[in-house]
Amino acid sequence: MKVLCTCVCKQVPVDVEPLTLNLAISAPVVAVASPSALRAWLNLIPKVDNWNNSIACIGETTGSAAKKLGLKSIYCPTTPGLEGYAHIIWPF
């Protein structure tokens, strides 16, 4: 499994290499642990409408934010936390 790590991001970095961005966009699932991480991800990709991959959210708050932002394939654990988060990511 390839993993792309992120950090707290208040502003989209301008120096994201195109190859790295293309690899991230093509990932079958992107895991986010907060609504702000979700917004940072969406600021990196060109258009939400053209990105149909899955988003794994750590809990319902992030999952609700993903839905409000127009994402379609959203996975959230029934109980928030790392264990449930890992279980929804693992199948990918």
The amino acid that residue 4 corresponds to is L
| % pLDDT > 90, the chain | 36
Strands (E) across the chain are located at 29-32, 54-57, 74-75
Domain ranges of the chain: 30-89
The structure's pTM equals 0.75
pLDDT tens digits along 23-51: 888 889 999 999 999 998 888 886 656 77
Q: What is the mean pLDDT of the chain?
A: 82
76 has a pLDDT exceeding 70 = yes
**Beta-carbon neighbour count of residue 74 at 10 Å?**
18
Starting from the edge strand earliest in sequence, which strands make up the sheet with 29-32, in order? Answer: 29-32, 54-57, 74-75
Nearest to 32 by CA among 5, 51, 52: 5
Asked if 40 and 9 count as a contact pair (C-beta separation under 8 A), the reply is yes
Report the pLDDT value the prediction gives residue 74, as an integer from 0 to 100.
96
Average pLDDT, integer, range 59-74: 93
